[in-house]
Amino acid sequence: QLSNRPLSDTLELTSLGDVGERRVVIVGHKSPDGDCIGSALGLRSYLLARGADEVSILVVGRMPDNLRWLPGAETVHQLSAQSDLEPIRQILAQARLLLLVDFNHLGRIGNPLEGLVAEIVGKPEVRSVMIDHHPEPDMGLVNEMYSDTSACATGFLIAELLGGGASRELELHGGADMATCLLAATYTDTGLLRHGQITPTLFRTIAHLLEVGARHEEIVLRIFKSDKLSRQRLLGYIINERTTYDLDLGVAVFTLRQEDFDRFGIEPGDTEGLVNVPLDVAGIRAVAFLREQRDPDEPVKISLRSQGNLPVNEVASAIFGGGGHLNAAGAEYQGTLSDALALVWEGLRELVHRYPDC
Ligand code: 5GP
Ligand code: MN
């Protein structure tokens, strides 16, 4: 059941408890991206302005370096298997409002946080809310569900829900920091408005964010023009030496191994967005990027992207039990890189033949 309450009512804090008890926890998905972090930080600014006593953001994995300048980013708890969970348990135990942003089911949170969130999500004293744009959200999970798969980013969805109509919440409580976070979220999930559903409403909402004070130039400079040199060199290596382009099929596939990460001094978040690059080649309709992770016991990560109506999320879910959007999906594979690679080629070949006209 989708919520028909205005989001500003759902995020109302006075009914949660007395001053001092209005504690909010925001949870994002593992390996958080710009949409996840920007949405969480935007909501944090907003809730603090509305009188929240404390807003804690919890994620599993490191956030990408190019997001660390966003207002409030220094407060994000980035958890790993080694983290001391006692303080996190305490934060969750005191939460009255729990916001799950930019993911659709608990399995996307990652360990060790997933189990802790599962324990509190159904408690009667906790108001739980999901705000997301992924297909097939877990409908029974939360008290209030805001899910819109047509939204190009969760950050845009939040801006739309709080900025539209007569509510004008963005001016009232949001301000420039919130607007900057939500615009950064929207720009990262759309690759600076290059993919996803780009609509008139999106441009109206962006105009509204700019009116409230969103810092467009700063976002472009600090997120999109701040690559480490090692990343540019890695990109050159990927294009020249690691990508297989099948122009008849319209598919490009590349892989990275652990030794490549060492050679280029690449941290996990640094590969964000690389998967989109081969889509710029004329005739390429689908791209897959497979990578080993630092820890050899960790599964192979698979990222898929496509152009038009070619549903790469079908490959992610049918073959690997992953998921995602029509044009941007992902999965994990417990096995060797070469086995994953063979499965990806088979899956994409089959997909392209099944959807010849997309
Ligand atoms: P990325 O390639 O940027 O890691 O992920 C693109 C999209 O694919 C994400 O927004 C998410 O919807 C989906 N996705 C990525 N990895 C996984 C995964 O392991 N499982 C599922 N279900 N979805 C994933
Ligand atoms: Mn997103």
According to the model, what pLDDT value does residue 165 have? 64
CA distance 14 to 50: 9
According to the model, what pLDDT value does residue 188 have? 96
pTM of the model: 0.94
Ligand nearest to the CA of 102: 2
Q: Which residue has the tokens 């408690």?
A: 123
Q: Which residue puts its alpha carbon closest to atom 8 of ligand 1?
A: 329
Residues within 6 Å of ligand 1 by CB: 134, 275, 303, 322-325, 328-332
According to the model, what pLDDT value does residue 166 have? 66
Give the position, in ligand 1's atom list, of the atom nearest the Cα of 275.
2
CA 21 to ligand 2 center in whole angstroms: 30
The residues, any chain, with a CB within 8 Å of residue 272's CB and separated by 6 or more, are 33, 64
HSE-up of residue 36 (Cα within 13 Å, Cβ side): 25
Closest CA to 24 of 58, 54, 51, 4: 54
Q: Considering just the CA atoms, what is the radius of gyration of the chain in Å? A: 20
Q: Which residue puts its alpha carbon closest to atom 18 of ligand 1?
A: 331
According to the model, what pLDDT value does residue 295 have? 82
Q: What is the maximal distance between C-alpha atoms in the chain?
A: 64
Please list the pLDDT of the chain residue by residue as tens digits (358 residues).
899 999 999 999 999 999 999 999 999 999 999 999 999 999 999 999 999 999 999 999 999 999 999 999 999 999 999 999 999 999 999 999 999 999 999 999 999 999 999 999 999 999 999 999 999 999 999 999 999 999 999 999 999 999 876 678 999 999 999 999 999 999 999 999 999 999 999 999 999 999 999 999 999 999 999 998 999 999 999 999 999 999 999 999 999 999 998 899 887 778 889 999 999 999 999 999 999 988 888 999 999 999 999 999 999 999 999 999 999 999 999 999 999 999 999 999 999 999 987 6
According to the model, what pLDDT value does residue 269 have? 75
The two structure tokens encoding residue 349 = 């070949």
CA distance 219 to 214: 9
According to the model, what pLDDT value does residue 353 have? 96
Ligand nearest to the CA of 31: 1
According to the model, what pLDDT value does residue 284 have? 97
